Homo-oligomer: A and B are copies of this chain.
Amino acid sequence: MEKYCFGIDVGGTTVKCGLFSTEGEVLDKWEIPTRTEENGKNILPDVAETILAKISEKKLDKAEVAGVGIGIPGPVNEEGEVPVAVNLHWGYVHIVKEMEALTGLKVKAGNDANVAALGELWKGGGMGCHNLILVTLGTGVGGGIIVNDKILAGSHGAGGEIGHAHVEDGIADPCNCGNCGCLEQVASATGIVRLAKEELEASEEASLLREGEVSAKTVFDAVKAGDALAVRIAERFGKYLGKALAVFACVADPEVIVIGGGVSKAGPVLLEFIEKYYQKYAFSACRAADFRLATLGNDAGIFGAAKMVL
């Protein structure tokens, strides 16, 4: 009987690893470095080695291990193929084939943001739901869509790449993706700083944000302190994201929208600004979607990866 599974979250500098019970309990959690040299050729062998070492250390029977799920920072198709993963220095890699050969275990692979969405659905902010949109507000805007408990990977591994939805015609400088006016440019931590700078330059109005360096954190701290200029920034942020989520909901019609990433540490106040505009622009049937904060933090990836093989 299958009792265990592994959830692996491969990042650009470290690989997060988790040993889980099939019920979703974390039995062990550790990290190994991501060796990106020589086109990252050691990454998968290193992961395989640490898994086999853990099986041996814990004296597990391999027949009791349901498999290994892996999240990767790059596009991954349904079959577990990666065309290219810049942060890992990878060209084409067939993760599932390679890892199954290296470990002798069943392997599933997915894009890290999509995998994190599955983690939040399983044991995080979306627990108990079957259809979810996860938005990760960090340096960029990541996203993952779950439809009927499954990751929407898309035909080019770009399913859930909502950070690159076009939302603003008035931005002339390009996003990392090359396009101009992406959601990421106005709703990420960096995007919030962009909006803050615009508001600070547009007037001489007194604001807590005129002292020290501006960040997404100082903006939402100022919002909590009742700073009028900071509230205007939060309104603009909320309008961009809430309106975009209303459009995404016309496609995916989620049960729950989970907001994670560093910016989400601002707490419930963040949801208020997003939900207000979501409600304004959403199609009637989609307005019932619930807004929640992510709860798994950096562990969402290993949870979701583990869930993939169950």
Contact = CB atoms under 8 A, between A and B. Distances in A.
A251 B164 contact: no
Interface stretch (A2-10, A53-61, A148-156, A196-204): A148-156
A265 to B, nearest CB: 25
Name the prevailing secondary structure of the A interface residues.
loop
Contacts of A250: 143, 158, 160-165, 248
A231 interface: no
A177 interface: yes
Interface residues of A, number: 47
A42 interface: no
A155 B255 contact: yes
Nearest to A288: B156
A130 interface: yes
A157 B248 contact: no
A286 B130 contact: no
Contacts of A80: none
A177 B160 CA distance: 26
B281 A159 contact: no
Given A145-B251, A252-B251, A252-B252, A285 B162 contact: no
A189 B156 CA distance: 32
